[in-house]
Structure 1
Amino acid sequence: MTRRTHAILATALAAALTLGLGACKNDKSDSGGGDAAAGSTRAPGAESGTIVGGTPVKGGTLTVLSNQDFAHLDPARNWTMPNMDFGIRLLYRTLVTFKAEPGAAGSEIVPDLATDLGRPSDGGKTWTFTLKDGVKYEDGTPIKSADIKYNVERSFAPDLTGGPDYAQQYLADDENYKGPLNGEHLASIETPDDRTVVFHLKRPVAEFSYTATLPTFAPVPQSQDKGPQYDLRPFSSGPYRIETYDRGKQLVLVRNTNWDQSTDPVRKAYPDRIVVTQGLKGGQVDDRIIASEGADASAVEWMNLRPESVSKVLPKADVRSRLIAEQQGCTDMLYPNTSKAPFDDPKVREALMYAVDRDAQVTANGGPAMGDVATSYLPPALAGGTKLDPLKIPSTGDPEKAKQLLKDAGRTDLKLSLTVSSGDKTRAEALQQSLAKVGIQVTITTADPSVYYDTIGDTKNAPDLAILGWCPDYPSGATFLPQVFDGRTIKEKGNQGNVEQFRDQVTSDRIDQINAMSDVTEANKAWQQLNEELMKKAPTVPMLWQRRPLLAGTNVAGAFGSPVWTGQWDFATIGLKDPSKSKG
Structure 2
Amino acid sequence: MTRRTRTVALTASAVVIALGATACGGSSSNTSSGAPTKGGTLTILNDGDYDHIDPQRAYTTEASSMDYELVRTLTGWEETGAKPKLVGDLATDTGTPSKGATVWTFHLRHGIKWQDGTDVTAQDVKYGVERAFSPDINGGPPYASQWLAGGDSYKGPYKGRQLSSIQTPDTHTIVFHLNQPVADFNETTAMTGWSAVPKAHDTGSTYDTHVWSDGPYMIKSYSKAKELVLVRNKYWSRSTDPIREQNVDEIDAKFGQDQSAIDQQIKSDAGTGQTAITQTPIAGSDLTSIANDPSLKSRFYKIAAPGINYMAINTRRVKDIKVRKAIEYAVDKTTARGAFGGAAYGDYATSMLAPGIDGHKDFNLYSSDPAGDLTKAKALMKQAGDPKLTMSLAVENIKTQEDFADAVKNALAKIGITVNISPIDKNNYFSTVDNVKNQYDLTWGDWIADWPNASTVLPTLFDGRQIKRLPQSNNDLSYLNDPKVNAQIDKIGKMTDIKQRNAAYGDLDEQIMKDAAVVPLMYMNFSDLGGSKVGGVIDDTIMAEPSLVHVYVTH
Match of 1:69 in 2: 49
Task: Report the alpha carbon displacement of residue 486 of structure 1 after superposing the two structures with TM.
Answer: 0.7
Q: Distance in 2 between matches of 1:271 and 1:330?
A: 31
Secondary structure (helix, strand or coil) at the match of 2:49 reads coil
Q: Distance in 2 between matches of 1:411 and 1:55?
A: 67
Match of 1:549 in 2: 527
Match of 2:386 in 1: 412
| Residues 402 and 423, structure 2, Cα contact 8 Å, conserved in 1 | no
Q: Distance in 1 between matches of 2:330 and 2:164?
A: 51
Match of 2:301 in 1: 324
Please tell me the residue identity of whatever aligns with 1:105: K
Task: Report the alpha carbon displacement of residue 404 of structure 1 after superposing the two structures with TM.
Answer: 4.3
Q: Distance in 2 between matches of 1:283 and 1:493?
A: 35
Match of 1:172 in 2: 149
Q: Distance in 2 between matches of 1:398 and 1:291?
A: 42
Q: Select the residue among 419, 442, 445 that pairs with 2:418.
A: 442
| Residues 285 and 340, structure 2, Cα contact 8 Å, conserved in 1 | no
| Residues 393 and 421, structure 2, Cα contact 8 Å, conserved in 1 | yes
Please tell me the residue identity of whatever aligns with 2:355: P
| Residues 56 and 557, structure 1, Cα contact 8 Å, conserved in 2 | no
Deviations 1:403-459 (A, max 9, x none): 44445x53434424141324323223333444455x342323231334544664464
Structure 1 pair 354–293 and aligned structure 2 pair: CA distance change class (3 A): closer
Match of 2:75 in 1: 96
Q: Do residues 183 (structure 1) and 157 (structure 2) align?
A: no
Q: Distance in 1 between matches of 2:476 and 2:182?
A: 22
Match of 1:201 in 2: 178
Q: Select the residue among 369, 373, 380 that pairs with 2:348.
A: 373
Q: Distance in 1 between matches of 2:511 and 2:409?
A: 27
Task: Report the alpha carbon displacement of residue 171 of structure 1 after superposing the two structures with TM.
Answer: 1.3
Structure 1 pair 529–47 and aligned structure 2 pair: CA distance change class (3 A): farther
Structure 1 pair 314–80 and aligned structure 2 pair: CA distance change class (3 A): closer
Q: Do residues 3 (structure 1) and 3 (structure 2) align?
A: yes
| Residues 123 and 518, structure 1, Cα contact 8 Å, conserved in 2 | no
| Residues 449 and 456, structure 2, Cα contact 8 Å, conserved in 1 | yes
Structure 1 pair 353–129 and aligned structure 2 pair: CA distance change class (3 A): same
Q: Distance in 1 between matches of 2:135 and 2:98?
A: 31
Please tell me the residue identity of whatever aligns with 1:344: K
Task: Report the alpha carbon displacement of residue 73 of structure 1 after superposing the two structures with TM.
Answer: 1.9
Please tell me the residue identity of whatever aligns with 2:329: Y
Q: Distance in 2 between matches of 1:574 and 1:304?
A: 19
Q: Distance in 1 between matches of 2:420 and 2:278?
A: 31
Q: Select the residue among 151, 166, 169 that pairs with 1:192.
A: 169
| Residues 382 and 476, structure 1, Cα contact 8 Å, conserved in 2 | yes
Secondary structure (helix, strand or coil) at the match of 2:252 reads strand
Structure 1 pair 347–362 and aligned structure 2 pair: CA distance change class (3 A): same
Please tell me the residue identity of whatever aligns with 1:528: G
TM-score w.r.t. the length of structure 1 is: 0.82
Q: Select the residue among 480, 488, 492 that pairs with 1:502.
A: 480
Match of 1:47 in 2: 26
Q: CA RMSD in A?
A: 3.1
Deviations 1:17-57 (A, max 9, x none): xxxxxxxxxxxxx99xxxxxxxxxxxxxx835444323451
Secondary structure (helix, strand or coil) at the match of 1:148 reads helix
Q: Distance in 2 between matches of 1:401 and 1:311?
A: 32
Match of 1:15 in 2: none
| Residues 140 and 473, structure 2, Cα contact 8 Å, conserved in 1 | no
Of residues 325-334 and 459-468 in structure 1, the stretch that sits farther from structure 2 once superposed is 459-468
TM-score w.r.t. the length of structure 2 is: 0.86
Q: Distance in 2 between matches of 1:315 and 1:540?
A: 32
Task: Report the alpha carbon displacement of residue 189 of structure 1 after superposing the two structures with TM.
Answer: 0.9
Count residues in correspondence: 532
Match of 1:140 in 2: 117
Q: Select the residue among 391, 415, 424 that pairs with 2:365.
A: 391
